[in-house]
Structure 1
Amino acid sequence: MFDRLEDLLRRYEEIMNELNEPTVTANQDRFRALMKEQSDLTPIVESYREYKKAKQDAEDSLFMLESESDEEMRELLKEEHSEAKKRIQELEQELKILLLPKDPNDDKNVIVEIRAGAGGDEAALFAAEMYRLYVKYAERNRWKVETVGVDEIGIGGMKEVSFMINGKGAYSKLKYESGVHRVQRVPETESGGRIHTSTITVAVMPEVEDVDVVIDDKDIRIDVMRASGNGGQCVNTTDSAVRLTHYPTGIVVYSQTEKSQLQNKAKAFALLRAKLYDIEQQKAHDAEAELRRSQIGTGDRSEKIRTYNFPQGRVTDHRIKLTLYKIDDIMNGDIDELLDSLIAADQAAKLLKMNTQ
């Protein structure tokens, strides 16, 4: 590990020297590539430099302790040595995590698709609430949300909604949300006060470029029509809605939220590319069953990942057996504790796998 860290430190210093050259901006592609590499290496290099300093501090305090006779000073040096050793252990763990293979999609924007599952109107109402949860979470991170398509019901629910979240690192956080979300509560329409259980499915896909997924024109049918639905902010009333049908897979996507047909077409193609890329990713994961099992949040889309129990005010993530009693905060977009715990569990699983190889 430390040989690799030394190599990365040397590479970082090479990049910094090149970036300090006055002619570096002459080649913009090269300049951008260097800036990206420098940004990726910075957290590793900073932690490694701190590790080396802590290591030196531990050695210095031990060396001084051997020749020190004053008891008060010896106690101080022992404390310094103990603190340095503790920091060394913390930084070793931090460096192991930083050196884990990075998901190439982590920095990408995401496309999220929420569908109402079992539970009829109550499932559609919960789908709409989950849509608002993710919009509020995006706002907390100052990410931009663009709705692609929505199928609403009259009482404020959504049978289906797809939207894009544009923000650096959005996929690294939200990829853990894919799966089945279950809600347990008394619906407003329930006169007997009985608790109902409903489900929705969430799919989180990285936004992909044209070069990542090539779509042949002959495989696509494009239909233009007037937007359907109950109106409201998400639906326009001009003949600009776009539906794409992908013949090889049977996937149909629909975009209706923009007044411009070109904008809706661009959004529809972005959603289709994400879906096709996701299919390929799922195939790759299926082929590597062991890898799939070792990763938190990238499992089967039919997996029940979380339960939202309103009467008891709790949210339980079943993958990591975490229960939080703050359902109101979570439904208002405060999901950092959930996501941070999932990331930590994912990293721990990968470290364990790496250490046993």
Structure 2
Amino acid sequence: MGADDHVPGAAAPAPDHPRARPRPAGGVDRRPQGGAGAAGGLGSLGRRFGRARGGGLAHRPSFGCGGSRSRSSCSGRRGFALPLGVLSGPGLGLNSDGVIDELVSQIKTRFSELQEELSDPAVIGDRQHFAAASRAYRELEPAARLASEYRRAADDAEGARELLAEDGDDSELRAMLDSSRARMAELEDEIRLAMVERDPNDDKNVIVEIRPGAGGDEAALWAGDLYRMLTRYAERRGFQVEPLSIGDGTYTFAVKGAGAYSVFKFEGGTHRVQRVPETESQGRIHTSTATVAVLPEAEDVEVEIDPGDLQIDVYRSSGPGGQSVNTTDSAVRITHKPSGIVVSMQDEKSQLQNRERAMRVLRARLYERARAEQQAAVAASRAAQVGTGERAEKIRTYNFPERRVTDHRVGMRLHNLDAILIGELDELTAALQDDEKRRRLEEKASVA
């Protein structure tokens, strides 16, 4: 019997620690009276903000220098990214090579540049550029706040160090120096997390599918409870909920709003419930499951054809059509080399008309192919999330007798089941977002 299957009366979980972080191995117990949420919610940067002038970093910015950008504000920019040194070394401690100091400087410089761009009348008048700059500003703002606090802590540490050198050892100055250094170490950790590249789907709307798993009628009732929990959570977060299909214990709905996927992607998987069903006359606890699939809503597939990918052949038409059709090269055959799709057209008298028709057909075929590939990818994602719906495949357990919710991915236990069931999932989401960033950071560090 696992830790989440124990009955009332078993040993209580370990008490909270005010600075505890959820870890997959140890399990962090969070009681309602603790008040503080898990660490998380930091803005992430990725490769989205352009490059601060004079730095040595290189990644592609989220909006380029062509078209929507003024020439004056674009000169000399290349990209903005994490130096590999930021990701190296165990434990995320103070960086002796000064890479964090360089990163802090570039964050602050780029943030100032974005502020200037957003007040530039030329940028304000360009809707596409203004939207891109605003998005970059919003995403960079949390890291900029951390960078400012890091600078203040560094200045305090330097001031205390200088006074200690001049006046000799002093307990208050020593305490100030130690406190500033400790805060710098914490901020370095947080800045690293803030710089982790975002999931490219995070800003998308989502489609959520909830289906009963193991447990018969009780599983169907549990699926309905999850539907109410997730739709209430969406409304609390300010998202728009659009029911798409509800019936036979299965619920499909859309969640619309900026960042919907970044919030709801952590709900995908098997949700297990342990409770006494209303129909159970002997008071026995039953275990049931429901599966949740969270899919980024597919955007319209835009077909862009590179002229270099086309082989265009012209030839004389065959069959009826008059003398001019049969004696001029009016027929067109277009081959799309990457896909091997071939379209021929000879019905019109002019080569230009046949070419335009052939291109319309080619675009339609490429669109259908891309749409089919997109649907196959979504189907694979859904299958990976929901698994088989068996009781052992769970991301989270809801234990009604103990009023406890356990998220098995981060080992986090919360004793506020009733609040969670009405959509108060923010603490769980924050812990899972923090865990995702840490795992991405570790992956980058291992590659570096």
- Bigger share in strand: 1
**Deviation at residue 282 of structure 1 after TM alignment:** 7.6
Contact 1:206/1:274 (8 A) holds in 2? no
Aligned partners of 1:123, 1:275: CA distance in 2, in Å?
Answer: 32
Aligned partners of 2:225, 2:419: CA distance in 1, in Å?
Answer: 13
Alignment match, 1:194:
284
Structure 1: unaligned runs, 5 residues or longer? 153-158, 215-272, 287-297
Q: 1:172 aligns with which of 262, 275, 289?
A: 262
Alignment match, 1:140:
236
AA aligned opposite 2:146: S
**Deviation at residue 67 of structure 1 after TM alignment:** 1.5
Alignment match, 2:127:
28
Alignment match, 1:59:
158
Aligned partners of 1:300, 1:179: CA distance in 2, in Å?
Answer: 5
User: Which of structure 1's runs of 4+ aligned residues deviate more than 4 A?
Assistant: 273-279
Aligned partners of 2:302, 2:286: CA distance in 1, in Å?
Answer: 43
Q: How does 1:205-354 map to 2 (within 5 A)?
A: 205-211=295-301, 277=374, 279-280=376-377, 300-302=385-387, 303-354=393-444
The reply to whether residue 120 of structure 1 matches residue 205 of structure 2 is no
Aligned partners of 1:36, 1:274: CA distance in 2, in Å?
Answer: 28
AA aligned opposite 1:301: V
Alignment match, 2:22:
none
The reply to whether residue 86 of structure 1 matches residue 186 of structure 2 is no
Distance 1:13 1:126, change over 3 A: same
Aligned partners of 1:193, 1:199: CA distance in 2, in Å?
Answer: 19
**Deviation at residue 319 of structure 1 after TM alignment:** 2.0
Contact 1:108/1:207 (8 A) holds in 2? yes
Distance 1:38 1:335, change over 3 A: closer
Structure 2: unaligned runs, 5 residues or longer? 1-85, 87-98, 305-369, 388-392
SS at match of 2:231: helix
The reply to whether residue 17 of structure 1 matches residue 107 of structure 2 is no
SS at match of 2:121: coil
AA aligned opposite 1:106: D
**Deviation at residue 327 of structure 1 after TM alignment:** 1.9
Aligned partners of 1:7, 1:23: CA distance in 2, in Å?
Answer: 24
Structure 1 window deviating more from structure 2 (111-120 vs 346-355): it is 346-355
Higher relative contact order (CA 8 A, sep 6+): 2
Aligned partners of 2:371, 2:385: CA distance in 1, in Å?
Answer: 17
Sequence identity (%): 41
Contact 1:205/1:274 (8 A) holds in 2? no
SS at match of 1:100: coil
The reply to whether residue 76 of structure 1 matches residue 180 of structure 2 is no
Larger Rg: 2
**Deviation at residue 276 of structure 1 after TM alignment:** 7.2
Aligned partners of 1:340, 1:354: CA distance in 2, in Å?
Answer: 21
AA aligned opposite 1:151: G
Distance 1:48 1:299, change over 3 A: farther
Distance 1:212 1:114, change over 3 A: farther
What is the root-mean-square deviation in Å for CA atoms of aligned residues?
A: 2.9
Q: 1:161 aligns with which of 221, 233, 251?
A: 251
The two structures have a TM-score, normalised by structure 2, of: 0.56
**Deviation at residue 53 of structure 1 after TM alignment:** 2.2
Distance 1:213 1:204, change over 3 A: farther
| Partner deviation per Cα, 1:167-195 (whole Å, 9 max, x = no partner) | 33222122111111112222112223332
The two structures have a TM-score, normalised by structure 1, of: 0.69
AA aligned opposite 1:195: I
Q: 1:95 aligns with which of 191, 195, 206?
A: 191
- Bigger share in helix: 1
Contact 1:47/1:91 (8 A) holds in 2? yes
Aligned partners of 1:65, 1:345: CA distance in 2, in Å?
Answer: 39
Contact 2:293/2:385 (8 A) holds in 1? no
